Amino acid sequence: METVYSIKPLAAVLVSLVAVVLIALSRNRPNLRESWTIIAAFAKFGIVLSMLPMVVQGFYPAITMFTIAPGISFALRVDSLGIMFGLSASVLWILTSFYSIGYVRGLDEHKQSRYFGSFAVCLSATMGIAFAANLFTLVIFYEILTIATYPLVIHKETEEAISAGRKYLVYLLSGGVFLLLALAFTYFYAGTVDFQPGGILAGDIAGGRVGLLFAFFLLSFVVKSAVMPLHSWLPTAMVAPTPVSALLHAVAVVKAGVFGFTRAVGFIIGPELLHSSGAADYLISFTAATILVASLIALRQDNLKARLAYSTVGHLSYIVLGIAMISPSAWVGGILHIVNHAMMKITLFFCAGAIHVKTHCTEVSQLNGIGKQMPITMGAFALASLGLAGVPPVTGFISKWYLVQGSLNVGQSALAAVFLISGVLNAGYFFSIVARAFFRRSDKFTRFNEASPLLLVPLVITALFSLLLGLFPNQFPYFFDLARRIAGSVIEGGGL
C-alpha cells in the first residue's frame, strides 16, 4: 500500500469549520444559516467520497501539517479503516442536517445558530479522528469532539440538561486524561505514535507494561464507548434534542470511542502482543456482561430514547468484544458493525424524533396504534429493529453473523451464545414497540398524519440504506471488502 500526498484529508476536516464561521455570520437569517449547513455537509461528503477509489486501489491520501518531535507529527492519512468511518459519518451528517432543520423548526428550538455551529465542529473533529495518521493527532481531535458536543448536550438549558452536561464532561474528560497517559507511554515504549497495522510495540515488552498501556487505552476509549460500568453518562445525555442523540449514538461520539479502541488494539499494541499478555480476557468478560445486562435494562425502559440508549450500550459492546477476540471474522463483524449500527440506530432515533415532533409522545406506553397515523415512520422503525435483532436481510445480520463465526473460530461458544441471546432480547424490546404501533388500537391515533418531509425523508433513506447494505454488502461503497482488508492486515499481517 502506498501513501500519496493530498490536501483532501485536511479539506474534509476544514470544510465544516468554515461553515461554523458562515453560520455565525448568518445567525439572524435562518434560511441562509441552514443553507451553509447543507452546503458544508454535501461538500464534506463529496471530498470524502472522492478519496474512496484511491483507498480501494491501495493509495492512501496523506498530509503532514507539522512535526513537534521525532516520531510525533500532526498528520492526516486516509486508510481503509478511516475511509469507512469517515464516509459513514459524512453521509449521515447530510441526512442529520436536513432532519435537524425540520426538528428545530417543528419544536421552535432556541439558540439554533449555536446548535448548527456546534454540530459542524463535531463533524470536523470526527473527520480528524477518522483520518488521524497517528495517536497524537487522534488525541487532539478526540478532545475537541468532547468539548464541541457539550453545548449540544445542554442545549435545552434546563436543570436536568445542565446536570447531564456536567456528567458528560466528567466522564469523557476523565477518559481523555488516560488517553494522554496512553500517548506518553506509547511514545516512551515505541519511539513513535504512528499507526501501523499489527501494532508498533516490540514483542519483548513485559506483559505488565502491556497490561498497563492497555488499561490506559481501555479507560479512555471504553468510557466513550459506554461499556458498563462506565456507561451511565450516555442514557443521561438523552435529555438532549433527538438529532443530538442521533449524533451521540450513530455519527460521532460513541463511534469515536469504538473507532479509537480499534486503532489502539490493531495499530498500536497489536493483537499478537495483546493476546500473549492476557490483557484482553478481562475486557471480554465485561463486554459480554454489558451486552446482556444492557439488553435486560432496555426491556424495562418505558421512555423511548432511554430504551434506544441502553440498546446502544449493548451494541457498542458487540464491536469492542469483536475487536478484543483477535479473530479475523470477529474483526470483520466488529468493523462492519461500526457502520451498520450507525445506519440502523440513527433510523430509530430519527423515528423517535419524528414521533415527538408530531405527537409529543416520548414513552413507549403512549404509542398504541400510532402505526395507523405514522405508518411510514413506524415501518422504518420496524425495519431497523429487524436489523438490530440480527434478522436477515437487514444489514445487522451480516455483522452479527461474522461476530458469531469469529467466536466459534476462537473456541468461544459461550460468546456466540451471548450474541444469539442478545438478538432475542433485542427482538423483545424492539418488537414490543412495533406490536403496539400496528396491532393495538387507540382513539388518539386515527388518521394518516406523518411528520414533515424534512423529518420523514431522512429516516426513510437511512432505513433503505440499512436494507441495501444487507442485501448487497460487497457492492459500492465496498465496506465488506474494506473490512476484510483491515482484518487481514491487522491479524494476519500485510498492507492495509
- Cα separation, 351 vs 151, in Å, equals 23
CA distance to 31, 358, 369, 378, 440, per residue, from 372 (Å): 33, 14, 6, 9, 10
Closest CA to 344 of 288, 294, 391, 304: 391
Low-confidence ranges of the chain (pLDDT < 50): 494-496
Task: State residue 204's pLDDT score.
Answer: 55
The C-alpha cell at 392 is: 436477515
Containing 235, the helix (H) or strand (E) segment is: helix 233-236
- A 10 A CB-CB count for 68 gives 9
Tell me which long-range contacts 28-36 makes (C-beta under 8 A, separation of at least 24): 30/112, 33/112, 33/113, 33/116, 34/97, 34/101, 34/116
Q: Is the dihedral of CA 328, 330, 333, 335 positive or negative?
A: negative
Q: Is the dihedral of CA 432, 437, 438, 442 positive or negative?
A: positive
Q: In what order do the strands lie in the sheet with 2-5?
A: 2-5, 59-69, 72-77
Torsion of CA 214, 215, 216, 221, to 10 degrees: 80
Task: State residue 403's pLDDT score.
Answer: 96
Task: State residue 203's pLDDT score.
Answer: 61
- Let me know how long the chain is: 496
Query: What does DSSP assign to residue 363?
Result: B
Among all chains, which residue has been given the C-alpha cell 434546563?
158
Phi and psi at 478, nearest 5°, equal 65, 30
Phi and psi at 229, nearest 5°, equal -95, 20
**Residue 108, helix vs strand vs coil:** coil
The residue type found at 217 is F
- Classify residue 71 as left (phi > 0), alpha (psi -120 to 50) or beta: left
Residues 227/316, Cβ–Cβ less than 8 Å: yes
Task: State residue 486's pLDDT score.
Answer: 94
The C-alpha cell at 76 is: 492526516
Sequential DSSP letters for 422-478: HHHHHHHHHHHHHHHHHHS--SS--S--PPPHHHHHHHHHHHHHHHHHHH-TTSTT-
Whole-prediction pTM: 0.92
pLDDT digits (tens, 9 = 90+) for 160-206: 889 988 998 888 888 889 999 999 999 998 889 999 998 888 665 65
Task: Give Dmax over CA atoms of the chain in angstroms.
Answer: 70
- For 208-230, what is the HEC assignment? HHHHHHHHHHHHHHHHHHCCCCC
CA atoms within 13 A on the CB side of 33: 20
Sequential DSSP letters for 30-73: HHHHHHHHHHHHHHHHHHHHHHHHHHHTTEEEEEEEEEEETTEE
How far is residue 140 CA from its own chain's centroid? 18
Task: State residue 135's pLDDT score.
Answer: 96
Residues 445/369, Cβ–Cβ less than 8 Å: yes
Closest CA to 491 of 257, 274, 217, 193: 274
Q: What is the CA radius of gyration of the chain?
A: 21
**Residue 303, helix vs strand vs coil:** strand
Residues 385/271, Cβ–Cβ less than 8 Å: no
CA distance to 36, 105, 247, 465, per residue, from 454 (Å): 16, 10, 17, 17
The C-alpha angle 441, 312, 336, rounded to 5 degrees, equals: 115
**Residue 242, helix vs strand vs coil:** helix
Sequential DSSP letters for 316-351: HHHHHHHHHTT-HHHHHHHHHHHHHHHHHHHHHHHH
Residues 350/246, Cβ–Cβ less than 8 Å: yes
Residues 219/264, Cβ–Cβ less than 8 Å: no
CA atoms within 13 A on the CB side of 470: 27
What percentage of the chain reaches a pLDDT higher than 90? 64
Phi and psi at 23, nearest 5°, equal -65, -45
Task: State residue 481's pLDDT score.
Answer: 93
Task: State residue 495's pLDDT score.
Answer: 47
